[in-house]
Amino acid sequence: MRFPFLALCLFLVGADLGHELLAQGSTAPGAGSEAAGTVPVPLIPRRAFFGNPEKARARLSPDGKRLAFIAPVEGVLNVWVSEDDRPEGARPVTFDKHRGIVNFFWAYTSRHILYTQDKNGDEDDHVYCIDLASGEVKDLTPIPKIAAEIENVSERFPEEIVVGINDRGERQYHDLYRVNILTGQRTLLQENPGLAGFLTDDDYRVRYAVNITPQAGKELLRPAGEGRWEPYLSVDPLDAMTTHFVGFDKTGGKLYLLDSRQRDTAALTVLDLASDRYQTLAEDPRADLSGVLVHPTEKTVQAVSFTYTRTEWKVLDPALQADFDYLRTVADGEIQITGRTLDDRRWTVAYLMDNGPVRFYLYDRQPQRQARFLFTSNPALEKLPLARMHPVVIPARDGLKLVSYLTLPPWTDPDGDGRPSAPLPMVLNVHGGPWARDEWGYDPEHQLLANRGYAVLSVNYRGSTGFGKHFLNAAQREWAGKMHDDLIDAVEWAIQQNIARRDRVGIMGGSYGGYATLVGLTFTPTTFACGVDIVGPSSLITLLENPPPYWASFMPVMKRFVGDWTTEEGRAFLASRSPLTYVDRIQRPLLIGQGANDPRVKQSEADQIVQAMTARKIPVTYVLFHDEGHGFARPENRFAFYAITEAFLATHLGGRYEPIGDAFRGANFSVPSGDDQVPGLVEALRTR
């Protein structure tokens, strides 16, 4: 079941330098030394932050005999496979030459790899299968204009998977098919009569359906014969966004849930389907469940994680306690179990850092616990003077606690206490979604901006996920309302803490974060010195009138949380919360980045606010990427956009920046408006 949240995915999965580690940079007038005297940290090239990883996403085959990962082939990410468990002998098995392949996993045959990919960011995903013996890559869903999604993969049917395909009528709903990954043959498993999705067990039986009610509640439905479905379990609208049906145990007689009913945060519970009795397996009063570790074949829950400021693991199965105790001694950073063999003897483990690349290990549980280092996602990052990320909890004006993350230029915080020696220019970096969250860890935008001399603050404003239903539901109909107040409260906190200079605070973000940027410049026009909007909606009316077709079942949630675009009163409310309505209030410089193929926040959202600003002779720089969607997947496009961004920010906030140089090489974009507003942009466009 596809959840059509507005979260931005920039595919910032690592970096590939390919250039000198240090470069000569420029400093905007009056910047550089004013906050902290001499700057001992050199300017790091943006390619270090926004290029491809050297290697990433290590995955063992289910039989434990082969290792797969992604790595570049001629500069484009592809899948590599080793015939043993060592990356040194790996060879590429895909040869994409454009956007790259990121999302892949092993089939249970251990001889095939599955991956999904769209075209130029349109999110019309197809499912592909790689036959490692022959090298053939087969499109398992060769149907135009669909958004296919893998619904279930079971070790009981290693040559078959369940795929959702929306190829009927207006393409709003996904039917379920059993697909043979060897032949591509599709067999209809369940036609969708207009529901949000289905739950299948390991025998590929369709056990339940899930639907969203007109009031934005959630229902679990069971078959009632002759194609009918009847309600089995109802979830109140206040719990619907924090209660989810996860899957079955080995017998199929128990259903796991993320469950916020009768509590605030989402716990892990299990429902005995025969007795209708619930058991709570794990909960945390501060945060929703964020991760579950399930035995590969027994399907018992063995460990869970919760993420408040940092991720913490809780072991439920005593048989794994010694494993986690050992893994905590192997490396610093937060532990992620990225894969397990079917016999559960071998794991792939990743360690996430805040000031360095991800470290991947192969962990053998038997005959004795031993972790063998595989690789880091980008060894070059280990040589750079990267900044630490500090979790902070900021009080909102009404008492809500806003879990946030602060990164400072290293030379401004010599004692490492998360407070600079003098107030700095600051960038408020707002996450997308809004049903997503910021977390601790390496963040390329934080690192770029901190290296350029800015404090960087990311805030989990109300509506962010992971902090319970009260925190999430506090955002209902609060787009540009209390959600924006939270951001303003965070800025005021940073000023009062002598972190930020009041006259040099910028705002930037993608998707909802882009919308928040436009709100910042229209609803509070003198708070921010400038703004960078990446694929952000400018009108809530046109956003909600033009969703992708497969959002149909989710639209009651949008109506409840954002507003009703179908009534005159609702449209008036949405207009009152739309930056497009208040274009004439904009007083500060604005940079907009947009993907031409974005199916969520369509190009027209950027076009219409640029046109409105131009008509009022308000300057705006508009960068349109012709082969991108909801975020920038191609490294060449990322280099181009962040080259423009850092020059733009330096002009208005006073930080350092790396000149544009050859950053536009290979990028596919145009600048319909405002090329004269960014230093070096006109010249770079002329010579690219």
Which is it for the CA torsion 345, 348, 354, 357, positive or negative? positive
Active site residue 511: yes
Separation CA 175–CA 188 (nearest Å): 8
**Count of CB atoms situated within 10 Å of the CB of 175:** 18
CB-based contacts of 554, cutoff 8 Å, min separation 6: 3, 4, 196, 212
Cβ(93)–Cβ(113) under 8 Å? yes
Instruction: Identify the active-site residue in 484, 630, 673, 675.
Output: 630
242 with 288: CB under 8 angstroms?
Answer: yes
Instruction: Please count the other Cβ atoms lying within 10 Å of the Cβ belonging to residue 191.
Output: 11
Report how far residue 568's alpha carbon sits from residue 363's, in angstroms, rounded to the nearest whole number: 60
Interacting residues of 679 by C-beta distance below 8 A, sequence separation 6+: 647, 650, 651
Whether 598 sits among the annotated catalytic residues: the reply is yes
Strands (E), 310-369: 311-315, 334-340, 346-352, 359-364
- Rounded to the nearest 10 degrees, what angle do helices 512-523 and 482-496 cross at? 80
Distances 277 to 200, 210, 217, 357 between C-alpha atoms, Å: 21, 20, 22, 45
Q: Cβ of 43: how many Cβ atoms within 10 Å?
A: 19
For residue 154, the tally of other CB atoms under 10 A from its CB is 15
48: CB partners within 8 A, 6+ apart = 15, 17, 21, 380, 381, 384
Closest CA to 658 of 668, 670, 645, 669: 645
Instruction: Let me know: does 639 contact 47? Beta carbons within 8 Å.
Output: yes
Given 239, 598, 627, 675, which residue is catalytic? 598
User: Measured on CA atoms in the order 289, 294, 300, 304, is the torsion positive or negative?
Assistant: negative
Two tokens at 111? Answer: 């001889």
Q: Which residues are registered as beta bridge partners of 267? A: 259
What's the CA angle centered on 135, arms 94 and 378, to 5 degrees?
30
Active site residue 323: no
**Spatial separation of the C-alpha atoms in residues 189 and 208, rounded to whole Å:** 13
Three-state SS sequence of 438-483: CCCCCCHHHHHHHHCCCEEEEECCCCCCCCCHHHHHCCCCCCCCHH
CA distance 529 to 414: 27
Query: Could you give the CA distance from residue 679 to residue 656 in angstroms, rounded to a whole number?
Result: 13
Report the length, in residues, of the chain.
688
Q: Is 33 helix (H, G, I), strand (E, B) or coil?
A: coil
Element (H, E) at 275: none
Place of tokens 């109506």: 559
Catalytic residue among 511, 538, 539, 553: 511
Question: What stretch of H or E contains 141?
Answer: none
* Cα separation, 529 vs 521, whole angstroms: 9
**Catalytic (active-site) positions:** 511, 598, 630
